[in-house]
Amino acid sequence: MKAPRRAAWLVATILVAALMIGLMPARSASAQAPTATVNTGALHLRSGPGVSYQVVFSVYRGTTLTLLGRNANTSWLKVALDNGVQGWVNRWYVWSAYPLASLPVEGGTIPVPVPLPVPAVGTVNSGALNVRQGPSIYSPRIRALPRGAQVDLLARDSATIWLKVRLSDGVVGWLNGDYILTSYPKTNLPVEGVYVPPAPQPQPQPTYRYHTVQYGENMYRIGLRYGVNWLSIAAANGIGYPYWVYAGQVLRIP
C-alpha cells in the first residue's frame, strides 16, 4: 500500500506545482515592447510609410520610440511616442538593438508621388529674386529674376526651402521657394541637393604694439605718443579708474 500512496502523493505535488506556476505572472522578452532611439538631429513622424505622407509630429536626437511594426521591406518603421502619437519613420534615422525584421508587417507599399505636370511652373512673387548655382545663399549668384517671371520646377532640397528651376533660356539654378507661387505642391518635387553650411572662418586676432612705461609718464601722454585715445589703451589693458600706471609696466597699444 505504501507504493500507491507515494505515487498519489507525487502526482498531487506535481499538480500543485503546475497550478502555482500557472498563477505566476508571465515574464518574457515580449513583455516589454521593443524600442529605438532617434540618431539624427530632427526626424519627422509621418502618417504612412513614405515621404509623400503628411508629417504628424517631429522628434529630435535621443528621443526613444516604441516599435510597433514595419513595411514590407523594413525601410519604414511604425512607432509610438510616450504622448500617444503614432507614425512612421525612416529606419535609417533610428538605432535599435531589436531585430527590425521581426516586427509585424503593416501598411502597403510606399505611395507613388503625384506626377509632375508638364511642366510644373512657378511664378516669382518678389521684386527681384536671385538665382543661385546651389541651394544656399552662399552659392554664387547667376542672375536676378523680376516679379512675375515664370520658371519650370525641377526639384527641391530636403527641407523644401530651395527649389531647383529651369529658366526660360534653359539655365538651371536654385531659388528660395518662399518667393515662388505655384499650384503644384512643392513637397511633391523630388529631393535633390543638400545644403552644407560653410565652415566658419577664423577671426583675425587683433595686433598690438607694446610700450614700457617710463618715469613721469601717464596714460594721457602715452596716448599722445601713439596717436591713440588713452581710454582705449586703458580698456586694452584692463586698467580702471583712477587709471594709474607705474614705471616698468608693459602696456598693449591698440
* CATH number of the domain within which 178 lies: 2.30.30.40
Calpha distance 42→62 (Å, rounded): 10
Report pLDDT for 198.
60
Q: Are 106 and 69 in contact (CB under 8 A)?
A: yes
Report pLDDT for 119.
67
14 occurs within a structural domain: no
202 occurs within a structural domain: no
Q: Identify each DSSP E strand in 39-186 by its residue range.
A: 42-46, 55-60, 64-70, 76-80, 86-90, 94-95, 121-124, 128-132, 141-146, 150-156, 162-166, 172-176, 180-181
221 occurs within a structural domain: yes
223 occurs within a structural domain: yes
66 occurs within a structural domain: yes
Q: Are 164 and 156 in contact (CB under 8 A)?
A: yes
**Can you give the residue range of the structural domain that contains 134?**
121-188
Report pLDDT for 160.
83
Report pLDDT for 23.
47
Say yes or no: 95 and 127 in one domain: no
Calpha distance 42→52 (Å, rounded): 18
Q: Are 181 and 175 in contact (CB under 8 A)?
A: no
Report pLDDT for 17.
55
In the chain, the number of structural domains is: 3
Say yes or no: 36 and 69 in one domain: yes
46 occurs within a structural domain: yes
Report pLDDT for 29.
38
Say yes or no: 98 and 125 in one domain: no
Say yes or no: 37 and 64 in one domain: yes
Report pLDDT for 3.
56
Calpha distance 4→231 (Å, rounded): 111
166 occurs within a structural domain: yes
The pairing of strands 121-124 and 150-156 is antiparallel
239 occurs within a structural domain: yes
User: How confident is the prediction along the chain (254 residues), in pLDDT tens digits per residue?
Assistant: 455 666 666 556 665 555 554 444 444 434 578 999 999 888 899 988 988 888 888 888 999 999 999 998 888 999 999 888 899 999 989 999 898 888 999 865 444 455 555 568 889 998 889 999 888 888 899 999 998 899 999 888 877 889 999 998 889 999 998 899 887 888 888 887 554 556 567 777 778 889 999 998 998 899 898 999 999 899 889 888 888 888 889 999 98
